[in-house]
Amino acid sequence: MIDYTEITKHLYKDNPCFDYLQHEASYKSGWNKFFLKGCKEMEVWYNESNNLLKVKGSLPYYWQKHNFTFNRESFQGSINDISSRLKVNLWEAELSRFEYGSIIEVQAKPEELIRHHIKIKGMQTRSINPDAKIFEGIIQSLKLYDAGRNMKNKLDKDIRSLLSNDYGYDQGKHYLKIENHYKKPYKALNSGIRILVNDLLIPEFYQKCKNDLLSQYRNIMKTESILIPKDKKSLSAGNIILLAFKETESLFNINAEERINSMLKSIPEAILNQNDKKARKRQIREMLKKISDPGEGIRAGNGYDLYAVLEAKLMLEN
Amino acid sequence: MEFAGRPGKITGIKKSFPFHSLEEKSTSKKLIWKHLCRKITSNNKRDIDMNTEFLKSNHLQFMYELKQGTKTSYYLTAGARGILPARIGVTRESFSIIHQTGRGHLEKLTGQIKATFKKNDESIYKKYKPGWIHTSVYEIPDFPVFAGYGDIGISNESGKTEGTGDLLILHSSDEWKTVLIHIFRGLLFQKDQVFPYLYKLLKQQSPA
């Protein structure tokens, strides 16, 4: 679903209608900032000398006061509404930035899931707080955040009860939002050719957004799900370090056991003799066996790769 | 004895691709297929180009401006004369009405175009009295950038409105101060190819 959008319209001889706008500020650069009356979520920027009009904000929040869902009809309704208020055809305006994402229901706490999504090659990882992470690129970024908490904090009770009745929202469940933020959508999705707002209604283009979200998600390096031993004895400080090491082995494309063995080998005989080394090797192997043998521990996070869940959700979205 | 057209055998091109050995024969066969495939691809490409050319040659464009002090009366300001009347009436449906059309699906009516030719006017659409044009405009779900499309209806022998099969697409960039009328002659039933073509054209023409 579409969320935040930034639309730029080059005006010809026509002037936008200001009847529904509330003036907020004027800048030396010639830009004037407005809000659509009664809705602080939707900003309208107008530069008379450049003949430019920008509309920025979250369309779902503007149209329905939440972003739990936002279908094609609602998207169409919101653009038609703003177009008629401004008396400007926004369908033929340029899509300068936008967000496309999906909210999925997850079994584990989003915070824990987010922690196990480590990085995307070529992108910077930013973590504002434990329940949000951004993989920042030049053209686009990928955001993961706790959508459940966001809704609890942002939405009125009335809206939440409406979501429960009409859209199956359950306050007790966990929700994670996975979202692509396109800073230069024409480069990310359209081989450098500009994108108009109408493109978002063309099925082929919308499918492209879905595919890109899936492929960006697939690019995230995730930690492997590991087993945490049930007994306290097995959880010595040394073993916890081993667990953490094992967890990150897939990320760095290494074999934890091989690395440990080579480390053992490199320790001089004077410090650890052959028998000491053998004993430690045996202990480490036992510990590794415990965390890789299902049934002897508690699986942390029930698996961290949410690709299949996201794919299934996107298939249902229109 | 060899049969022409036998599976696996390529005939009729032996002269230009002489085979000398078995190995060479197999390589040459590959080359022939490559040659044929390239030929088919280039023919297809030509078809696509021709299609665009075809759409282009059947495309007529008219610009009308709203007459001051009126809400529905528009006057022709650009485009070929002698096809559409100089003055037309364009009404917009305030509440979209859903129609079950003869084409078997539901369509939203977004507006109507009504016009009558003057006594001295000459046009391909002026055949019988009273010489009117009447077009219902329907929503294009994938392309809301356009106000809608319709079949250009004209008055027939019995004075009733009859479809011409000419596709009309209505477009306005400035909230109906000016309207653009695109006509694609005889292409009503190819509308699904016309909409993306016109959209692409709009993208190319509007400022970057």
Please give the mean pLDDT across all residues of chain B.
79
Q: Check A87 against B202: CB less than 8 A apart.
A: no
Residues of chain B numbered 102-141 and touching chain A (CB < 8 Å): 141
Search chain A and give the residue with CA nearest B146.
A91
Tell me the two tokens of residue B96. 């979209």
- Mean pLDDT, to the nearest integer, of B91-118? 76
State the smallest CA–CA distance between residue A31 and chain B in angstroms. Answer: 19
Q: Check A198 against B199: CB less than 8 A apart.
A: yes
Range of lowest pLDDT (A7-21, A175-189, A226-240, B84-98) = A226-240
- Mean pLDDT, to the nearest integer, of B147-161? 93
Q: Check B144 against A198: CB less than 8 A apart.
A: yes
Assess contact for B94 and B123: CB atoms under 8 A: no
Res B33: pLDDT: 57
> Nearest Cα to A74, choosing from A61, A86, A87, A83?
A61
A-chain residues near B98 (CB < 8 A): none
State the smallest CA–CA distance between residue B176 and chain A in angstroms. Answer: 9
B-chain residues near A198 (CB < 8 A): 143-145, 199
Assess contact for B162 and B156: CB atoms under 8 A: yes
Res B101: pLDDT: 59
B-chain residues near A85 (CB < 8 A): none
Question: What is the pTM assigned to this prediction?
Answer: 0.77
B172 touches chain A (CB under 8 A): yes
Q: How far apart are the first and last CA of chain A?
A: 8
State how far Cα B73 lies from the chain centre: 26
Query: pLDDT digits over A150-167, tens only?
Result: 999 989 899 999 999 999
Range of lowest pLDDT (A16-25, A123-132, A190-199, B49-58) = B49-58
What separation in angstroms does the CA of B176 have from each of A34, A168, B42, B171?
A: 24, 41, 43, 9
Res B13: pLDDT: 39
Q: How far apart, in whole angstroms, are the C-alpha atoms of residue A213 and residue B126?
A: 54
Q: How far apart, in whole angstroms, are the C-alpha atoms of residue A229 and residue A243?
A: 10
B-chain residues near A196 (CB < 8 A): 145, 203, 206
Q: How far apart, in whole angstroms, are the C-alpha atoms of residue A200 and residue A21?
A: 26
- Mean pLDDT, to the nearest integer, of B108-132? 92
Whether residue B21 is predicted with pLDDT greater than 50 in this model: the reply is no
Q: Is B34 exposed, middle or buried (0-12, 13-18, 19+ CB in 10 A)?
A: exposed
A-chain residues near B202 (CB < 8 A): 92
Query: pLDDT digits over A199-243, tens only?
Result: 999 999 999 999 999 999 999 988 776 677 777 877 788 878 887
Range of lowest pLDDT (A74-83, A104-113, A234-243, B151-160) = A234-243
State the smallest CA–CA distance between residue A198 and chain B in angstroms. Answer: 6
* Domain ranges (residues) in chain B: 21-57, 60-205
B201 touches chain A (CB under 8 A): no
Supply the DSSP string of B50-65, one letter for each residue.
HHHHHHHHTEEEEEEE
Q: How far apart, in whole angstroms, are the C-alpha atoms of residue A157 and residue A298?
A: 36
Cβ-Cβ pairs closer than 8 A, A with B, add up to 49
Whether residue B170 is predicted with pLDDT greater than 60 in this model: the reply is yes
Whether residue B207 is predicted with pLDDT greater than 60 in this model: the reply is yes
Confidence band, pLDDT 50/70/90 cuts, at residue B107: confident
Whether residue A141 is predicted with pLDDT greater than 80 in this model: the reply is yes
Strands B73-78 and A2-10: unpaired
Res A317: pLDDT: 84
Res A293: pLDDT: 55
State how far Cα A79 lies from the chain centre: 24
Tell me the two tokens of residue B90. 């364009």
